[in-house]
Amino acid sequence: MTAHQLKSEIVRKEQLAKDIIRLTLAAPEIAVRAIPGQFMMLKATDKMEPLLRRPFSIHQATSNGLVQILFKVVGAGSKFLADREQGDILDIVGPLGHGFDLPDDPSANLCLVGGGMGCAPLYFLTKRLLTNRLEGSLQLYLGATTAKELAVVKEDFENLGVKVFAATDDGSLGYHGFVTDLVAESLDKELRWQFYSCGPHPMMNKVARFCAAEKWPCQVSLETMMACGISACLGCTVRSSPAKLISSNKQFLHVCKDGPVFDSGDVAWTTAER
Amino acid sequence: MDHGREINLTTHIGGGLILRNPVMTASGTFGYGREFSDFVNLHHLGAVVVKGISLLPRSGNPPPRIVETTGGMLNAIGLENVGVEAFLRDKLPYLREIGTPVVVNILGDSLDDYAELAEILNDIDGISAIEVNISCPNVKQGGVAFGTDPGMVRAVTRAVKAKTSRPVIIKLSPNVTDITVTARAAEEGGADAVSLINTLIGMAIDHRTRTPRLANVIGGLSGPAIKPVALRMVWQTARAVKIPVIGIGGIMNAEDALEFLVAGAAAVQIGTANFVNPDTTERVVDGITRYLQESGCQALQEIIGTLRLC
Ligand SMILES: Cc1cc2nc3c(=O)[nH]c(=O)nc-3n(C[C@H](O)[C@H](O)[C@H](O)COP(=O)(O)OP(=O)(O)OC[C@H]3O[C@@H](n4cnc5c(N)ncnc54)[C@H](O)[C@@H]3O)c2cc1C
Ligand SMILES: Cc1cc2nc3c(=O)[nH]c(=O)nc-3n(C[C@H](O)[C@H](O)[C@H](O)COP(=O)(O)O)c2cc1C
Ligand code: FES
């Protein structure tokens, strides 16, 4: 796997909601290699603070050399990025990590579940899935706190010709409640599904449990604190599941290298350590 | 470089080991070298110091293991490593092929562990020196206990020296009252060089949940925040011992590296900066070269230990 450190120009900036930004970056070396689920480490300052780079999923990579990130402002680093303008240069490293494994079987039924900014990598994944197939069904669920956070992205997915099952915590768009409850209520359980999920940890935990009960395969994209993103600091660990511990003899997995996408059965879904 | 003029960057770091330039990587921040091959021409570095190696593999501490702090980061990795056997089988061949001097950082829980590691490594081709981590704050046994007791520092140094013909660098802990005491103990024990500083023990708390931010509660502070402390300790140590001193701590660029060289360091190691900019090491080599060219020097040695006291 080859990664690149690039000075990358912002060719487009979109404010999708109050605190949600999408940046389009010129990064041909990254775009050509990127796999859905992979991420980039962005320098989020032009000074020394915040010191460490920030990880962001690749939201889209195009054949004309562009990559996108979709993010929410949650602190100093994301604020810095949100304050950049078209024409500014960002220092980025990517593509990094192990992405989603695409299904070998073109007739597999696929279910994608995204929560919050977890929709970011799912867009890239959906596009890639649509280019290769489809004979089976593709069902997409997106959850957010409120309509404003979901509206634009939902439309983007719909423009790909995908029906979006939406859920919001406040009921302002789609189903009123957790997206995981919507999945449980509406998915055709007569079929066999392959799940892909990215979002808040508790949401993915529910998805993982749901799939485990049905014996459906499930891939999840995890987040941890990261210092390097290139498997040098060994800081980005999650605990292996008992099964994975036995099969690999590894007590911990590294999100930046073994992940961020894992088989949900490989990781221990403890909440205590988060 | 089109400035043209060749500068002699070589530096002697003890035990007869001469590096082509003074820029080394700091253990635990550069993996086993290969992780950085996309970003750095490894041939351009003075030496690669690998992640600390123990006799048996270690899985390290539970997460969270890292937290960012103002101007730095805390880590409690817990010395996760593949163990000496897998290191020699899976990691060393790549580095040997590159040809840049490899320094193997070792750690143990007992004097016997250190001695056994030194003995195993002594027979292996492609290892230029051994760096002994007596100072890592993360592991409950060994670690701090070795690095803070001058008697133990002397004993560890002797134990390792007795088993190897390779140069031995003792990596000092800054978590002591007077670092010149442990530095002298290493020298008395026969160390060929000392490197400093390892991380400073620190802590971060989330006041809302009233929980520590690291699962290990305490961790090692690194990055620009520690540079003034590191510089002070390097300066004091360089005056206290006759063996070469390798400066480490918060080096982000060539200017920082030059400060350590002026303070008396024969070489420097770059740690946390590798995470921030994976090409830092190579940039520092270029920056030092450019500075020496611009200031009319012929050789790196003209600036080492040249601090002027007013
Ligand atoms: C592989 C990966 C992919 C990611 N992809 C995206 C993405 O596509 N879009 C997006 O908006 N965010 C994404 N994140 C999360 C993003 O990295 C964090 O939101 C960002 O680092 C916050 O930096 P900050 O300086 O703005 O906030 P900080 O000041 O560092 O933190 C503010 C708050 O944000 C939370 N936070 C900080 N770092 C992280 C983190 N690594 N993961 C989760 N929460 C964090 C903490 O609760 C903290 O209190 C991803 C994280 C990972 C590990
Ligand atoms: C994530 C991390 C892991 C480290 N692992 C080791 C190690 O295995 N052995 C060791 O001697 N020092 C280790 N160190 C200490 C560094 O080598 C260095 O002494 C310290 O970080 C100070 O330098 P810096 O400020 O440039 O990072 C580690 C540091 C960090 C940040
Ligand atoms: S973030 Fe450094 S090893 Fe994964």
Q: Confirm or reject: Cβ of B266 under 6 Å from ligand 2.
A: no
Q: Which domains does chain B have, with CATH numbers?
A: 11-60+78-201+221-302 (3.20.20.70)
Helix/strand/coil percent split, chain B, to 5: 35, 20, 45
Q: How far is the CA of A237 from the centre of ligand 3 (A)?
A: 8
Q: What CA–CA distance (Å, rounded) separates B271 from B128? A: 20
Ligand 2 atom nearest residue A235's Cα: 1
Mean pLDDT to the nearest integer, A240-247: 93
Model's pTM, two decimal places?
A: 0.95
Question: Per-residue pLDDT tens for B91-103?
Answer: 999 999 999 999 9
Q: For residue range A4-31, what is the model confidence (pLDDT) as tens digits? A: 999 999 999 999 999 999 999 999 999 9
Please state the rounded mean pLDDT for residues B142-169.
Answer: 88
* DSSP SS3 for B281: helix
Q: Of residues B13, B136, B159, B304, which has the active-site annotation?
A: B136
Element at A169 (helix H, strand E): none
Q: What is the mean pLDDT of residues A131-151?
A: 88
The pLDDT of residue A107 is above 90: no
Question: Quick check: is B310 catalytic?
Answer: no
Q: Evaluate if residue A235 carries a pLDDT over 60.
A: yes
Tokens of B259: 């400060």
Q: B253: buried, middle or exposed (CB in 10 Å: 19+, 13-18, 0-12)? A: middle
The pLDDT of residue A106 is: 82
What percent of chain A lies above the pLDDT cut of 70? 97
Kindly tell me if the per-residue pLDDT of B142 is higher than 80: no
Pairing of strands A89-96, A66-72: unpaired
pLDDT of A35 higher than 70: yes
**CA–CA min distance A249, chain B (Å):** 10
Among all residues of chain A, which has the CA nearest to that of B81?
A234
In the prediction, which pLDDT does A271 show?
Answer: 57
ipTM: 0.94
Per-residue pLDDT, averaged over A124-144, amounts to 89
pLDDT at A273: 47
Closest Cα partner for B54 from B110, B100, B103, B96?
B110
Average pLDDT over residues B223-228: 98
Angstroms from B51 CA to nearest CA on chain A: 9
CB of B189 within 6 A of ligand 2: the answer is no
Task: Assign A193 to helix, strand or coil.
Answer: strand
Our answer on whether the CB atom of B52 is closer than 6 Å to any ligand 2 atom is: yes
Report the gap between the CA of B240 and the closest CA in chain A (Å): 33
What's the pLDDT at B4? Answer: 65
Query: pLDDT (tens digit, 9 = 90+) per residue, B253-307?
Result: 999 999 999 999 999 999 999 999 999 999 999 999 999 999 999 999 999 999 9
Nearest CA in chain B to A254: B63
Strands (E), chain A: 4-17, 20-26, 39-42, 54-57, 60-61, 66-72, 89-96, 109-115, 138-144, 164-168, 175-176, 193-198, 218-221, 237-239, 252-254, 261-263
Cβ contacts of residue A249 below 8 Å, gap of 6+?
none
Per CB-CB distance under 8 Å, the chain B contacts of A236 are 63, 65-66
Query: Are the C-beta atoms of residues B136 and B161 closer than 8 Å to each other?
Result: no
Pick from A158-162, A219-223, B212-216, B285-289: least confident: A158-162
List the domains of chain A with CATH numbers. Answer: 4-96 (2.40.30.10), 109-266 (3.40.50.80)
Q: Whose CA is nearest to atom 47 of ligand 1?
A: A74
Q: Report CA(A3)–ligand 3 centroid distance (Å).
A: 14
Residues of chain B that touch chain A, judged by Cβ-Cβ distance less than 8 Å:
28-31, 35-36, 38-39, 51, 59-60, 62-68, 70-73, 75, 77, 80, 215, 223-224, 252, 272, 274-279
Residue B2 pLDDT: 47
% pLDDT > 90, chain A: 88
Please report the number of interchain residue pairs, chain A to chain B, with beta-carbon separation below 8 angstroms.
Answer: 104
Q: What pLDDT sits at residue B135?
A: 74
CA distance A202 to B90: 37
Most B-contacting residue of A237, A256, A257, A273 (CB-CB within 10 A), to test interface:
A237
Give dist(CA A160, CA B82) in Å, integer: 45
pLDDT for the residue numbered B300: 97
Closest atom, ligand 1, to C-alpha of A223: 53
B73 to A231: CB separation less than 8 angstroms, yes or no: no
Banded pLDDT at B143 (limits 50, 70, 90) = very low
B226 CB less than 6 Å from ligand 2?
Answer: yes
Confidence at A89, pLDDT banded by 50, 70, 90: very high
Cα separation, A54 vs B78, whole angstroms: 23
Average pLDDT of the segment spanning B147-167: 94
pLDDT recorded at residue B182: 96
Interacting residues of B93 by C-beta distance below 8 A, sequence separation 6+: none
Q: Over 90: is that where the pLDDT of A134 sits?
A: no
Which of the two residues, A122 and A135, has the higher pLDDT score? Answer: A122
pLDDT over threshold 90, residue A140? yes
Q: Is A227 in the pocket of ligand 3 (CB under 6 A)?
A: yes
